[in-house]
A and B are shown apart, each in its own frame.
Chain A
């Protein structure tokens, strides 16, 4: 059974810092990995999708990497801003089903 873990559960950093969020999964037989952002009381916004054949994806200040063999992904956020404060969820797709981690709650302090 696929299990997805995100550590830490919460992270607080000052504005302007570069930071890395971690995601690990137990079964490397995945089709893709997706990073989402969730604001309080809101739905999920897709940030980046990495197909299983890819190693990384970039969008603006965000860069996501995927290492299937070690069961790990990282989300790198450059030059963090208060507007980046949210919960970040990673999810892996295997056998048509998306399995989510519990998320990292990120707070960027001005």
Chain B
């Protein structure tokens, strides 16, 4: 299994440009997440999905959009890039079940995408 893969690894954008960060997992996990990590800081949740067709906002969703049409893929869209979106973006996935009481298992992370907006 490849686990969680992300593309691209690096990207430089100009202010106002748009791009999509790709994330794919091959572990048949139902939950997927997007985080950003600013220098010297912990990770902050941007958006998450509990299954195909279902997404919800995290702590810092402004300026981003997501979709989840399949179990495997969870792309993150940046519209009108701004310098404040310069960060490292991590995608993660996990399997969780609500049957018989909620069970949340460990999250697995991709290698990250380093984005610079100039």
Contacts and interface: CB of A to CB of B under 8 A. Distances in A.
Interface of A: 4, 31-32, 34, 36, 42-46, 49, 51, 89, 91, 93, 96-103
Contacts of A102: 40-42
28 contacts: A4-B42, A31-B102, A31-B104, A32-B104, A32-B106, A34-B106, A34-B107, A36-B109, A42-B111, A42-B112, A43-B111, A43-B112, A44-B43, A44-B90, A44-B109, A45-B109, A46-B106, A49-B105, A51-B103, A89-B42, A91-B43, A96-B50, A98-B33, A98-B45, A98-B107, A100-B42, A101-B42, A103-B42
Contacts of A96: 31, 48, 50, 96, 104
Nearest to A35: B106
A97 B41 contact: no
B58 interface: yes
Contacts of A42: 111-112
A43 B90 contact: yes
B110 A97 contact: no
Nearest to B105: A49
Contacts of A32: 104, 106
B95 interface: no
Contacts of B106: 32, 34, 46, 49
